[in-house]
Amino acid sequence: MEELLDLEAVQAFVLVADLGSFTRAAEVLDSSQAAISLRIKRLEQRLGHRLLERTPRHVQLLPRGAKFMPAARELLLAHERAMADLTDSPRRRLVLGISDHVAGPDLPQVLARLAAHDPLCGIEIRIAASRDLVAAFECGKLDAAIVRREGRRRDGEVLTLERFGWFASPGWQQRPGEPLPLATMAAPCGVRGVAVRVLDAAGIAWIEVFVGGGVMAVGAAVSAGLGVAALAERVAPLGAVEVGARLGLPPLPSSEIVLYAQPADARSRETIRALGAAFRGAAAR
């Protein structure tokens, strides 16, 4: 009888392909990069084909790997279903909070990778301000939250350092002698608070010309040429330009993006590690 496929090797292969990194796959599986590499090498030997192209900075599927991927996902899903049926476990549910200032254009891709990693888990997403999500997490209403670090809380896993800037539409010009027109989210938005504090400290007059309920709305106001917004570079609207230096505006401080998590079981812990790894991968691009 031919040697059966190693499920752990198949799982490692799928994770490396999805995350584009041996290191991030090892983080998700709570393993080492060397162990992940060995598993995939043995899988390739078993199948008789190379599946992944490895370079120091990049990992991509080779044609044989792309062909094998659908079957690999089906195999892992069948295993998940078999284990769930055998143990009569209720369907797991994860409630995740993601800050509006953190979500960004990569959110659909991050969530798609999360759903593919744990297809039998019911995943619910809450988008809100960082402070509201931290409060919900502390009350046990969220299993995990990705937020801007605010307040005195210093724990959590740092996923990335987010840089902020002053963004406006191309060609936008401030009218001489008038206060700086700001597009912001409503108070008590933490980013708004930082922005107005640094403007006040620099003695720069400002006026809110647009107050929106979310980053997408603020981005739309920027794209429409209504004014300037303090935004993370990653979530600034397409085509917007950084105008801080041109207008002599004070620099905005960077902000740590952190993951808080309190999963109830080992499988959920792995899924949340996958969420963090997918977010770090998206933020690094």
Summarised one tens digit per residue, pLDDT across range 239-275 is 999 999 999 999 999 999 999 998 778 888 888 888 8
Q: Give the mean pLDDT of 116-136.
A: 88
The answer to whether residues 19 and 51 belong to one domain is: yes
**In the predicted structure, residue 108 carries a pLDDT above the cut 70:** yes
- Is residue 103 situated within a structural domain? yes
Domain carrying residue 225: 164-252
**pLDDT surpassing 50 at residue 78:** yes
Total-model pTM:
0.79
Q: Compute, in degrees rounded to 10, the torsion defined by CA atoms 127, 14, 40, 274.
A: 20
**139: number of CA atoms within 13 Å, CB side?**
8
What is the reported pLDDT for 121?
84
Domain count, the chain: 3
* Closest among 215, 207, 210, 208 to 237, alpha carbons compared: 215
Q: What is the CATH number of the domain that holds 188?
A: 3.40.190.10
Q: What is the pLDDT of residues 34-61, one digit of tens each?
A: 999 999 999 999 999 999 998 767 788 9
b/e for 50-65, b at 16 or more Cβ within 10 A? ebbeeeeeebebeeeb
Q: Which of 82-91, 120-129, 142-151, 197-206 comes out lowest in average pLDDT?
A: 82-91
Residues 6+ apart with CB under 8 A from 140: 262
Asked if 146 and 258 count as a contact pair (C-beta separation under 8 A), the reply is: yes
Q: Which residue has the higher pLDDT, 82 or 247?
A: 247
Mean of all residue pLDDT scores within the chain: 89
pLDDT at 103 over 70: yes
The torsion angle over the Cα atoms of residues 64, 67, 72 and 74, rounded to 10 degrees, is -170
In this structure, the answer to whether residues 62 and 103 fall within a common structural domain is no
Q: Answer yes or no: is 273 within a domain.
A: no
Contact 22, 53 (CB under 8 A): no
- Is 33 inside any structural domain? yes
Work out the average pLDDT over 214-243.
93
If pLDDT is split at 50, 70 and 90, which confidence band does 89 have? low
pLDDT above 90 (res 284): no
Q: What is the pLDDT of residues 13-37, one digit of tens each?
A: 999 998 888 988 998 888 999 999 9
- Average pLDDT value for residue range 228-238: 91
What span, in angstroms and rounded, lies between the C-alpha atoms of 169 and 179?
Answer: 18
Residue 19 lies in a domain: yes
Last residue of a domain, one of 88, 108, 131: 88
Percent share of the chain, pLDDT over 90: 51
Q: Is residue 284 part of a domain?
A: no
Q: Report yes or no on 279 lying in a domain.
A: no
Q: What is the pLDDT of residues 178-195, one digit of tens each?
A: 999 999 998 888 899 999
What are the residues whose beta carbons fall under 8 Å from the beta carbon of 222, sequence distance 6 or more? 167, 168, 169, 183, 228, 229, 231, 236, 237, 240
50 and 126 inside one domain? no
**CB contact at 8 A, 73 and 116:** yes
Q: What pLDDT is stored for residue 1 in this prediction?
A: 41
